[in-house]
Amino acid sequence: MRYLILGSGPAAIAAAKSARNLDGKAEVLIATEEHAAPYLRPCLPDLVSGEMELSAFADPQAKDLPGLRIEVRGGKRARRVDAAKNRVAFSDGSEETYNFLLVATGGRPILPLSLMGAPGSFLFLNSLGDARRVRERAMRSDTTVVYGPGYLGIEAARALRHIGLQVAWVNPGLPRFGNPISGDVEARVTEQLRGKGVKVVEGTEIADVLDVDGRTYSVVTAGGEEIRCSLIVVATERLPNIGFLEGSGVKAGAGVLVDEYLRTNVSNIYAAGDCAEVYDINRRESRINFGWRSAIKQGQLAGENMAGGGKVYIRNTEDYFGLLYGSPLPDRAGS
């Protein structure tokens, strides 16, 4: 039996280990577009702020993969899935076959239309490479605009203020996907950021970005406010990274549509984590449940089910709210 897992985040690793646990003789392969070894994505702001060293970013869940005979191949971006032939084509020209396939490719950040015409003005904060670029650029900047709602916007603003930059956080409002931070927690954290000198601009979008002199940019909000800065950090929501499934026959909505077993409409293809739109048997609805711990839970179940486990996914609120990785958000913002 051959299990092919796309992605190297918490869902992918948990699935690989679960499948290996139930099928000791199988071949288990993780293929990921990342070049770095599996790392702790929720802690990226801590690399920007200097509170964590690069050497501390390895995902502890992945440390025993070699001993479990689980291979990780990096630099492999999925390009197309041929479900009829159980085959995945990658952008490097290679192909991999499978008996069971797990799609755990996570998400990609949403870029506001207003930033598309100003490519030199912004950096994403979505990957380890992004965090290193933001850190390097921030050390040469004085004022930064952070754009994005929720956890990542808060953490990006906190991290950049921690290293002494003037920070304006443009918060457009509640995230459209996943699980928003509770109103009380977000209000408390926002006040903590204000207390540390972060300018909070709430309930508005970036309407335009003007290049002043190649080093300075003027950010114009939908409310008409103008903010001068030397860097914009895009810390937005992430949409499922599933474009490569087009034409495969695998059904998708906002994410990969899976049933209560995390199985797609193609019987030997599963999905888990931030790219999966999971059917909740209690609420009788499908939704994307972003978050580190939810991804681990889904990955474990998907891996077991690919190996014949037959377990039903049950969503618990405590798996998703405020339980990402590390200390609670109010403690981080107040530190």
Question: Which phi and psi (to 5°) does residue 63 adopt?
Answer: -65, -25
| C-alpha to C-alpha distance for 290 and 188, rounded to whole angstroms | 22
**Model confidence pLDDT, tens digit, residues 143-193:** 999 999 888 899 999 999 999 999 999 999 866 655 556 667 778 888 999
Dump pLDDT digits (tens) for 21-31: 999 999 999 99
Q: Do the Cβ atoms of 74 and 30 come closer than 8 Å? A: no
Confidence at 322, pLDDT banded by 50, 70, 90? very low
**pLDDT at res. 293:** 84
Q: What is the mean pLDDT of the chain?
A: 90
User: Is the pLDDT assigned to residue 33 strictly greater than 90?
Assistant: yes
pLDDT(331) > 80: no
Q: What is the pLDDT of residue 333?
A: 52
User: pLDDT category, 290, cuts 50, 70, 90?
Assistant: confident
Q: Is the pLDDT of residue 83 over 90?
A: yes
The residue type found at 246 is: E
The dihedral formed by the CA atoms of 137, 142, 146 and 152, expressed in degrees to the nearest 10: 60
Q: Three-state secondary structure along the chain?
A: CEEEEECCCHHHHHHHHHHHHHCCCCEEEEECCCCCCCECHHHHHHHHHCCCCHHHCECHHHCCCHHHCEEEECCCCEEEEECCCCEEEECCCCEEECCEEEECCCEEECCCHHHCCCCCCEEECCCHHHHHHHHHHHCCCCEEEEECCHHHHHHHHHHHHHCCCEEEEEECCCCCCCCCCCHHHHHHHHHHHHHCCCEEEECCCEEEEEECCCCCEEEEECCCCEEEECEEEECCCEEECCHHHCCCCCCECCCEEECCCCECCCCCEEECHHHEEEEECCCCEEEECCCHHHHHHHHHHHHHHHCCCCCCCCCCHHHCCCCCCCCCHHHHHHC
pLDDT of residue 297: 92
- pLDDT beyond 70 at 325: no
pLDDT at 283: 77
Closest CA to 241 of 47, 110, 67, 334: 110
**Across residues 256-284, what is the average pLDDT?**
93
Max CA pair span of the chain: 62
Do the first three CATH levels of 2-108+239-319 and 133-236 match, i.e. the same topology?
A: yes
Answer yes or no: is pLDDT of 104 > 90: yes
Task: Break the chain into its structural domains and give their ranges.
Answer: 2-108+239-319, 133-236
Q: Decide if pLDDT at 335 tops 60.
A: no
Of all residues in the chain, what percent carry a pLDDT higher than 90?
A: 73
- pLDDT in the model for residue 177: 57
What pLDDT sits at residue 280? 80
CATH for 2-108+239-319 is 3.50.50.60
What is the structure's pLDDT at 319? 59
Residue 318 has pLDDT above 80, yes or no: no
Q: In Å, how far are 6, 36, 37, 91 from 32, measured between CA atoms? A: 6, 9, 10, 11
Residue 317 pLDDT = 61
pLDDT (tens digit, 9 = 90+) per residue, 111-126? 888 999 888 899 999 9
pLDDT of residue 183: 67
* pLDDT tier at 328, thresholds 50, 70, 90: low
Q: Which residue has the higher pLDDT, 254 or 282?
A: 254
Q: Which CATH number fits domain 133-236: 3.40.50.880, 3.40.50.11810, 3.40.50.10190, 3.50.50.60?
A: 3.50.50.60
**Mean pLDDT across 235-248:** 93
What six digits make up the tokens of 217?
A: 């940019």
